[in-house]
A and B are shown apart, each in its own frame.
Chain A
């Protein structure tokens, strides 16, 4: 049977044995391809099951993608327990094992310096959710009670209407200011940060909208401070705003971008 080689990530050479872990194709286990200080974590896969044609059909099936994407991530997280990694895109499959060695040779310098840069750092996700309608409603209620009642009933009604419109606008402004101060804080508490695309509610499973989706590259001490800052936001800022701070993730936002044009 013909075999291909699925590449999960690249680590430095000093890494614990991973051969207990099952690969994407669960008939095979993880193994390493080494080259001068680098170790590519791979597993064989049956090209019968994972031919280009088969994959084309299967990626149409969202359940299959979910399942395999989860396996891919689980394997990365497992390997990360014993080493810093450079993660690869889902379904990176080589036809020949020699080609992986060739790849390591060609990009040795970049891979090593990337691993060196990532050493002692972690990628964390910082996502802010907000029930915007409730935020605005709360704001209007808080400030709206200050309206005076000194005109005729009709005029009072009308004034309250007008005031509400103005307060709604102010609430939006306040939200923007909050976001700006949060941004400044995150900037200070990370080595690098990247603002990612917001995810749809169908994907996050949250009722509230995602307003911010940050990926942060942090050192240990920053991570502690971020944890405290996140806690403060969740407990004291506003009941309609909450943050999910998760990690460590494979450094997907901070891995090298190889120019393979040549």
Chain B
């Protein structure tokens, strides 16, 4: 079943959709009654599949979402406090630079007039 252009049905599903399920999930049977070495061997492919995405997740900074919302809001507060401090610093620096810039431009104007 599909919702117009938004989604496509499972027929003609992308390879990613298939591999993320069948390689990684589903009921697993103990090795003594079935061929089970596969799990180990498939690891290489699994690694190829997801390694890039894990690195990207960290980069993105969206990893906090994996944790409890409670914890993530605490982390956000801490970040915010840090941000305010950094912003304060930056504001002081900016004001100083702006002042110097205005002064230099004033001098420049005067020089041009002379």
Chain A interfacial positions (CB closer than 8 Å to B): 4, 7, 10, 50, 52, 55-56, 59-60, 62, 65-66, 69-70, 72-73, 77, 86-96, 99, 102-103, 125, 132, 151-155, 158-159, 162, 169, 172, 176, 179, 183, 195-205, 209-211, 223, 227, 230-231, 234, 243-250, 252-253, 255-258, 260
Contact = CB atoms under 8 A, between A and B. Distances in A.
A155 B98 contact: yes
A258 B34 CA distance: 15
Contacts of B30: 260
Contacts of B34: 7, 92-95, 99
Contacts, number: 205
Contacts of A95: 33-35
Contacts of A183: 65
Nearest to A258: B27
Interface string B20-64: 111101111110011101110110110011111110110011100
Interface residues of B, number: 60
A59 B29 contact: no
A47 B7 CA distance: 39
Contact of A72 (B9, B22, B33, B39): B22
B37 A52 contact: yes
A59 B47 CA distance: 13
Contacts of A195: 65-66
B102 interface: yes
Contact of A201 (B5, B21, B22, B52): B52
Nearest to A98: B33
Given A70-B18, A246-B9, A246-B17, A227 B27 contact: no
Contacts of A172: 61
B22 A69 contact: yes
B101 A158 contact: yes
